[in-house]
Amino acid sequence: MSTERALRFGLVAVVGFALALPWADLRAQARLPTQELPVLAATDEAAVLIVNTTDDTDDDTCNVVHCSLREAIQAANASAVPNTVAFDIPPSDPGYNPSGWWTIRPASPLPELIDDSTTIDGTTQTANRGDTNPLGPEIELDGNLVGGNGRGFYIRSANNVIRGLAIDRFTETGIRLEGHAATNNRIVGNYLGTDPTGTQDRGNGWGIYIYLSAHDNTVGGAAREDRNLISGNDQAGIGLVSAGADGNRIIGNFIGTNAQGSEALGNTYDGASIAFGAQRNVIGPGNVIAFNGRDGVRVNSSNSLSNTVTANSIYRNTGKGILLIDGGNAKLVAPVIVTVSATTVQGMACAGCGVEIFSDLEDEGAVYEGFGTADGAGNWAFTKPGGLAGPNVTATATDDAGNTSEFSAPVAALCNRVYLPLVRR
């Protein structure tokens, strides 16, 4: 089996589904003592710009006296070298919340990121000022004052990183990536659509919107500290929309849950929406996609093809776990489960297709059980010696082009479990 196909079908380590975002681990890697950070050293191989206020003032200079986030982004765009935007805001700042975070409220849209290789790293605030919010990010970007078409970060360039921020209440989108130049960007370790504790709905329009040929970007990652929380948004959690929005990977995120990955904090529509010609995107492995108001993953339109959904935990969405509509993913036919025992599943699927097996309370795929391949006649079988979780078993198929089907109809598993009587005291 090729490496590409193995990745599509989830034959890699899957992120644990129910772990909180490990902010302490992430922060330990981001130690940037203030005295070691130049405000801007344009002749160096890389430069660091230090945001030291929550205000939105722009005096065209980012320096040790005053540097707002707006000024830092403008300085990064004007720089000829890679830049890191770090944070070192004192607790005396008016934007400090006694609950443990600092809130930046732009009065108008922030500048677009148009220069390559800028990292905006909210975890540096913790490195410089301590772990004041153990539940999540120390830096909140609140779009409540921006108004119509509000965007948190608007990325139109390559090799940028947005890390460790809570981004909420932007009317259009928390983060928007747009245009062919927007490639190889990484969105990691953020809360998009919630407060900095990851428990309260402060939805953006979309959480993340990848649009108009923005391609080969990564949202999340296999490492726990790269996991994003994308919940509470008024549209979908993630949008992959239009021709050319291809080759993006969505890995290891919590989409529609709280920060613990266990309680409902759903996006109003889909967890992830792929539409209008977006192709070759991969949703998985390791995402938890649950409690969303429409579908877990929706693939829409006949030119949205080769989008793979693999090795996730998808459950308790209002609509379907995966919905193919108007020819999305070539409307690949879902497998049929023929027999299920406590340890073995057998069925039929498209010849040569990969088949992923799941357990669920209903008809989605809460627990990823494993993977098999249909033979030339379409027959497949999967055995898990330790037993299937149940109570129901479902399956998806993925063809050689990367199209993933909807979930099959569920079939009850004959689980090898012992149920003890309930004793009331």
Return the pLDDT at 45.
65
Which tokens belong to 96? Answer: 């400090």
CATH 2.160.20 fits 3-331, yes or no: yes
Task: Say which residue the tokens 């950070």 belong to.
Answer: 37
Mean pLDDT, the chain, whole residue set = 90
Q: For residues 28 and 177, which has the higher predicted lDDT (pLDDT)?
A: 177
| 3-331 matches 334-416 in fold | no
Break the chain into its structural domains and give their ranges. 3-331, 334-416
Q: How far apart are CA 312 and CA 19, in angstroms?
A: 14
Complete DSSP assignment for 13-44? PPPPTT----HHHHHHTT---GGG--S--TTS
267-303 pLDDT tens trace: 999 999 999 999 999 999 999 999 999 999 999 999 9
Q: How far apart are CA 106 and CA 141, in angstroms?
A: 8
Residue 346 has pLDDT above 60, yes or no: yes
> What are the angstrom distances between the C-alpha of 309 and each of 74, 198, 206, 250?
38, 25, 20, 9
Return the pLDDT at 86.
98
The separation between CA 45 and the C-alpha centre of its own chain, rounded to angstroms, equals 31
30-53 pLDDT tens trace: 433 333 333 444 334 689 999 999
Residue pair 314/285 in contact by the 8 Å Cβ criterion: no
Report, at the CATH architecture level, how domain 334-416 is classified. Sandwich (2.60)
Residue 148 has pLDDT above 50, yes or no: yes
Query: What is the pTM for the complete model shown?
Result: 0.89
Return the pLDDT at 140.
99
Q: How far apart are CA 291 and CA 285, in angstroms?
A: 18
> What are the angstrom distances between the C-alpha of 157 and each of 44, 112, 113, 197?
21, 9, 6, 30
